[in-house]
Structure 1
Amino acid sequence: MTYSWKTCPSEIRNFVTKLLDEIKVVIQENYIGCYIHGSLAMGGFNPSKSDIDLLVVTRDSITSARMKELVQLFLDYSGNPYPVEISFLNKDQLTHWQHPCPFDFHYSEYWREYYESESRFFSVQSGTDPDLAAHIMIINHRGCCLEGRPISDVFPVIPYSDYIDSIMGDFRECQDNMVEDPIYCSLNLIRVYLYLKDRKIFSKLEAGNWALESLPDDTKGILKKVISSYTQNDTFYFDQGELLSLKNFLVGKIEMLQK
């Protein structure tokens, strides 16, 4: 079973609401708003597998002392029970858009072991992230304002070239990691193909369901496994030959659209 923010159970809403309350205690009057993107915004959130994807916008840059408090907050909350992926951006970074977009602070479970070591904390507290172009594009088109100023007042229009650069970076990673991460990579390759083909933003689940209806019959078997694994927590054996065949088909379609 998958959910959107509007349809999710009270446990998920309570987790997000409590986390936001704690974030506001840390950043105080600097807070502008909190926005949901990713699967929880678009209806593909699986409580057993999905991250809760958030962007927090502040008036000014976050101080090092506040960042250290945020590190401890996310080490305590993320993964208990839902993993959190979150970036903090200030108003100036959004008003004067550049790609890759700078950010003040980022947390995901990928960085947990680094944040648990104080000696490494300061080297990863801020920087630029090419993925933010895609996150903000999704917020503009499919996102949810959890609290604060409206999306249209806060976020810039993302140039087409920046969004393409962002999703093509993910596309290249998925080509390399198809066998190691078949569910994420299969669905993301389909999403990239659909955007290049139709200029529409799909969730991973929407992309998978479209592919099941529209791609050739010899892809149906692998697509059914991917979608079932994504939505129902079923476990399947993914044949490497099937995965590579699906990847090659999608990569060929994507490369044709880029010519």
Structure 2
Amino acid sequence: MKKGLTADSLEIKEFLHGLIRKMHLELESRIVGVYLHGSLAMGGFNPARSDIDLLVVTDVPVGMAEKQKLVSLFLEQSGNPFPVEVSFLNVSQLVEWKFPTPYDFHFSEYWRDRYELDVAQGTNVCLDGEEKYDIDLAAHITILNHRGICIEGRPIHEIFPTVPKADYLSSILDDYADCLEGIPEKPVYSMLNLIRVYWYLKEGEICSKKEAGVWGAENLPAKFGATVEKGLAVYTGEKMEVQFHETELKQLRDYINGKVESFGI
């Protein structure tokens, strides 16, 4: 593994190498490369809250039988002990940039229940043969190009195209809209993502949620400092739980949204 892993990196390395070895065994398609993005690549990984974010590129499209094997593999491996979010793409999908971006297979803990239901019923509802598209991949690939790690295979710059800034912005704004509504239910995730979008618009910074929290605590008006610091403490694992008042969350949300809208968004 290349540099960029922190904290329990030995355990993470062993987990990743074991997972990748099993992916090779399950796939007839040749793996061109395995790439790490997200918090683990950017030094903000918290095993209690973070996913290991991967992009896997194959030489040809992943077939249905292979997808079924991947479902079983990730149902077994994800969360044991680290949750995994992974997307499989083939090289032909990356020759010309498309937005939203096509992909062959995706797994995350968010999809676990649906995959488990498919397995239990012997169906393939989540694995139909139609090509799928994901607006989030524009953000994932942008982060990969700027801050990512090639675990194995061809270098990042040889495989992944440059994502137009407009598509990256559309990608992060899609999640931003959910965070505006969801901040009462998911305060830590939402506030850090809102700050991340604002920082990008203000200074062009592509950052992790942890980095966004540090920047927000230092650069937002002082009245928001304590709120952001509480969220950051939970996200980094310094504290297990804190209490947020609905008013402080809404005030922070409305302040950031006003600043974001001032950019013409």
AA partner of residue 157 (structure 2): S
Show the counterpart of 2:106: 106
User: How much has 1:127 moved relative to structure 2?
Assistant: 1.1
- Aligned CA distance change for structure 1 residues 121 and 59 (closer, same or farther; 3 Å): farther
Map 1:40-189 → 2, pairs under 5 A: 40-118=40-118, 119=121, 122-125=124-127, 127-189=132-194
Query: What is the distance in 2 between the residues matched to 1:116 and 1:128?
Result: 22
Query: What is the distance in 2 between the residues matched to 1:209 and 1:196?
Result: 17
AA partner of residue 101 (structure 2): C
**1:175-228 deviations in Å (ceiling 9; x for gaps):** 010111011110000110011111120111111101111111110111111010
AA partner of residue 73 (structure 2): L
**What SS is found at the alignment partner of 1:250?**
helix
Give the CA RMSD over aligned residues: 1.6
Show the counterpart of 2:12: 12
Q: Give identity over the alignment, percent.
A: 46
User: How much has 1:258 moved relative to structure 2?
Assistant: 2.3
Show the counterpart of 1:212: 217
User: How much has 1:234 moved relative to structure 2?
Assistant: 2.4
Q: Which moved more, 1:231-240 or 1:209-218?
A: 231-240
**1:145-197 deviations in Å (ceiling 9; x for gaps):** 01000000000000111111101101101001011101111000011001111
Under a length normalisation based on structure 2, what TM-score does the superposition of the two structures give? Answer: 0.93
Under a length normalisation based on structure 1, what TM-score does the superposition of the two structures give? Answer: 0.95
Query: What is the distance in 1 between the residues matched to 2:213 and 2:145?
Result: 22
Gaps of 5+ in 2: none
- Aligned CA distance change for structure 1 residues 151 and 93 (closer, same or farther; 3 Å): same
User: How much has 1:4 moved relative to structure 2?
Assistant: 4.3
**What SS is found at the alignment partner of 1:53?**
strand
Query: What is the distance in 2 between the residues matched to 1:148 and 1:44?
Result: 24
- Aligned CA distance change for structure 1 residues 242 and 4 (closer, same or farther; 3 Å): farther
Show the counterpart of 2:245: 239
User: How much has 1:96 moved relative to structure 2?
Assistant: 2.1
Query: What is the distance in 2 between the residues matched to 1:136 and 1:39?
Result: 14
Query: What is the distance in 2 between the residues matched to 1:136 and 1:142?
Result: 10
Show the counterpart of 1:250: 256
Show the counterpart of 1:202: 207
User: How much has 1:7 moved relative to structure 2?
Assistant: 5.5
Query: What is the distance in 1 between the residues matched to 2:175 and 2:123?
Result: 25
